[in-house]
Structure 1
Amino acid sequence: MKMKKYIAATMPEAMKAIRKELGDEAVILSSKVVYSKGFLGMFKKKSIEVLAGMDSIELPNKAPNLPTVQLDPDSNQTSEIKKELEDIKNMVKSIQRPQLEQQYSEELHTLIHHLKQQELAEELITRVSDELFVHGKKTIDEQLDFTKNYLNNLLSDLSFGGISYERKFINVLGPTGVGKTTTIAKMAARAVLEKKKKVGFITTDTYRIAAIEQLKTYAGLLQAPIEIVYSQKDFQQAVHQFEKLDLVFIDTAGRNYKEVKFVEDLQKLIDFKDNTETFLVLSSTSKERDMEVIIEQFTEFPIEKLIFTKIDETNSIGSMINLMVKYNKGLAYYTDGQEVPEDIVEASQDGIVELLLKGIHNERSS
């Protein structure tokens, strides 16, 4: 490793000299305050002494004659070289990061700990913490305000809020066990009680008798008609039958949608064209990678927004934000209990950020 000592009046001046000579990939090995001797032991001058280093490769005095290699920018070889360079760059950053984190304040470490407990993606935590450090936000309140603004900007291009009431058919997709049928009942009950809409139900979940009976119970309470469909012909007949209703909620079969076959069956059965809104329901208690697989299986569907259930059964909601950012999907609702229609919240950008940062003051005082 090539190492050199720098002495400057301030740390920014030292960093400027280091970057100029060693480049942006240089590593700060140590730094300390030093004083010059001064006149008769008085008027000592304060300076910063920094030891910096950089890994270097010794080259021979004379380069051998090598054939010129022309790389095709679209070739696999070029892509592999670019990937290797990116990997090296990320490795250097990971080596530098612990040294940077040593300079973080106690308050910033508290915030980072909270975000990790919430299982926010490591990349997002790094981006937030670096911005906070660079902007010199010291108190926990300053850091929280900055973090809220940062995350709100990150989510600003995504769509939030429940059903639009502009389209008639509400398709609700999702794997088995996520609480899809109960969620549909909550959405429908709000439409009836708050918006005075006439609603109906179509269920394609002919595999689970319990799910059909559950939806029949909710339909009875709302005095809404319900149709069970087994084929595309049945589906078209039900659509025609509900011609005069304001909204029709379609409860799809809760299957293991990691299997492509079930996704294809669903595409054949339901019309996802005009006059429909489509939502994908996921359980916040599921593993993030499992939810990623489900979302990726539904890429061919016109999913408007996500719905997360069971947030009352988990201590972390970072995965919700991770998935929204990764797949560029907004959020319609999240549910926090079994009561119908109470335990459902129409999502907002501010609300989800507040939920992520909730309780951080308690962590600091504990």
Structure 2
Amino acid sequence: MKIKKYQAANMAEAMSLIKGELGEDAVILNSKVTFTGGFLGFFKKRGIEVIAAIDPQETRMPAGKKKNMKTKTPAQHSLSTEQKPLPGQGRADFSPKQVGQSPVLKEMGELKKMIQQIQFSQGKETLPGDLPQLKRHLEQQDIDHETIEQLMASLMEGQNASKAEMLQKAKLFLMGKLLPEPISLFQKKYINVVGPTGVGKTTTLAKLAAESALKYRKKVAFITTDTYRIAAIDQLKTYSKILNVPLEVAYNAEDFKKAIERFSHYDAVFIDTAGRNFRNAQYVEDLQDMLSFGDDMETYLVLSLTSKQRDMEDILAQFSSIPISYFIFTKMDETSSYGAMFNMMAKYSINTAFLTNGQNVPDDLVKATPEVIVDVLLGDRYEE
């Protein structure tokens, strides 16, 4: 495949240059308006830059066959009224229906997308319509740059779409970056929450227990291993009274084993763990000594949406020796930035089970699905 860049005063001149050098079977991959020269920012000369390509095999077609083919005129190479770029955009799109679906042309289309992504990353591509606003919003949300570039390149293929259609396409693209919605939660008997101090694990655990008891009609119980803070035990005791469920405090592995035996006939047992400095590896080792992370336990890593993504990744790495079933992101009501949540889910292929948006038990708990995550990201806060 031969690819070449052309500079010309206008599209007609560029098409003439391309036809003269590459022939009538050349395909335009990309074009944009350029400005050169000038003095103190004035009197710049407007031009156009075009990237075109040709497959050498196409030019070696037998002469007899070429005679039977219709000869394309320069006018057929130019853009139709419907295909003309927006003013100042100077960009020609040739859809697969126009250029066919041969492997070579498919490769050209892929090259075109790569060129677009490079231009987006270098700030050289002019985005039409509402795309600049969407791009700024996702950047403000701290969405991964590569994801934004891929999305913009995808949306550029449908420049004539309405704003509603564009948002729907963006939504489907972002949902495609996440794992499908889990079939069901609370499938295992033991529900364990882990995470650093200050993320709201105990309150979240009470919300999960209420969800299980009220929605799934399960007989539930509490075990807490957080004996480092008296306030944490008192807090869970209060929740156990409100929900009318039993509570056992485990100070060591033997206590934990006895609690498990006591609650053997319960449907679901919710386990609260100590919130300590996640950078201390001993914390995770103590958890593994205390709990048995077997096949009958679901473990939820609780993270705060007010945390930086780098801290979230450090926390996940610290708990890497423990099988994490799902994320739970708390404090949705305390921030307006949700990009780190999306990035964590997409990068590590871990679903989010719930979001929390307040302190009220059993309220302020939102079941998270890929659609809910993307809706929150794009502006729907799910306050209720």
> What are the Cα deviations for residues 110-149 of structure 1, in whole angstroms up to 9, with x where unaligned?
1111112222122211111121113325532222011011
Greater relative contact order: 1 or 2 (C-alpha under 8 angstroms, separation 6 or more)? 1
Secondary structure of 2:210's partner? Answer: helix
Deviation of the 1:274 alpha carbon: 2.1
In the alignment, structure 1 residue 163 sits paired with structure 2 residue 163 = no
Secondary structure of 1:154's partner? Answer: coil
Aligned to 1:65: none
With 130-139 and 167-176 compared, the bigger mean Cα shift is at 130-139
- 1:10-21 → structure 2 map (5 Å cutoff): none
Secondary structure of 2:122's partner? Answer: helix
> What are the Cα deviations for residues 180-202 of structure 1, in whole angstroms up to 9, with x where unaligned?
10001011112222222111111
Aligned to 1:126: 149
Code of the residue aligned with 2:143 in structure 1: it is: L
* Alignment RMSD (CA, Å): 3.4
> What are the Cα deviations for residues 328-363 of structure 1, in whole angstroms up to 9, with x where unaligned?
110100000111111001111211111111269xxx
Code of the residue aligned with 1:239 in structure 2: it is: I
CA distance in 1, matches of 2:380, 2:133: 12
**Does structure 1 conserve the Cα–Cα contact (< 8 Å) formed by 2:7 and 2:14?**
no
Code of the residue aligned with 1:5 in structure 2: it is: Q
What is the aligned counterpart of 1:206 among 227, 230, 242?
A: 227
What is the aligned counterpart of 1:191 among 188, 202, 212?
A: 212
Identity %: 42
> What are the Cα deviations for residues 48-79 of structure 1, in whole angstroms up to 9, with x where unaligned?
9xxxxxxxxxxxxxxxxxxxxxxxxxxxxxxx
Secondary structure of 2:176's partner? Answer: helix
Q: Assess, with a 3 A threshold, how the Cα gap between structure 1 residues 108 and 245 changes in structure 2: closer, same or farther.
A: same
How many residues matched? 302
In the alignment, structure 1 residue 287 sits paired with structure 2 residue 312 = no
In the alignment, structure 1 residue 230 sits paired with structure 2 residue 251 = yes
Deviation of the 1:14 alpha carbon: 7.8
Deviation of the 1:5 alpha carbon: 3.0
TM-score by length of 2: 0.70
CA distance in 2, matches of 1:349, 1:313: 21
CA distance in 2, matches of 1:27, 1:299: 48
Aligned to 1:97: 122
Secondary structure of 2:286's partner? Answer: helix
Code of the residue aligned with 1:349 in structure 2: it is: P
- 1:335-354 → structure 2 map (5 Å cutoff): 335-354=356-375
Aligned to 1:151: 174
> What are the Cα deviations for residues 218-259 of structure 1, in whole angstroms up to 9, with x where unaligned?
011112111111211111111001111111000011011122
In the alignment, structure 1 residue 108 sits paired with structure 2 residue 131 = yes
- 1:296-315 → structure 2 map (5 Å cutoff): 296-315=317-336
Secondary structure of 2:282's partner? Answer: helix
In the alignment, structure 1 residue 255 sits paired with structure 2 residue 276 = yes
Code of the residue aligned with 2:239 in structure 1: it is: Y
> What are the Cα deviations for residues 90-119 of structure 1, in whole angstroms up to 9, with x where unaligned?
9x937973211xx21241101111112222
**Does structure 2 conserve the Cα–Cα contact (< 8 Å) formed by 1:199 and 1:224?**
yes
Q: Assess, with a 3 A threshold, how the Cα gap between structure 1 residues 137 and 278 changes in structure 2: closer, same or farther.
A: farther
In the alignment, structure 1 residue 5 sits paired with structure 2 residue 28 = no
**Does structure 1 conserve the Cα–Cα contact (< 8 Å) formed by 2:205 and 2:270?**
yes
Deviation of the 1:300 alpha carbon: 1.4
Secondary structure of 1:291's partner? Answer: helix
Code of the residue aligned with 2:47 in structure 1: it is: K
Q: Assess, with a 3 A threshold, how the Cα gap between structure 1 residues 286 and 33 changes in structure 2: closer, same or farther.
A: closer
Aligned to 1:38: none
Secondary structure of 1:170's partner? Answer: strand
Stretches of structure 1 that go unaligned for 5 or more consecutive residues are 35-44, 49-88, 361-366
Aligned to 2:349: 328
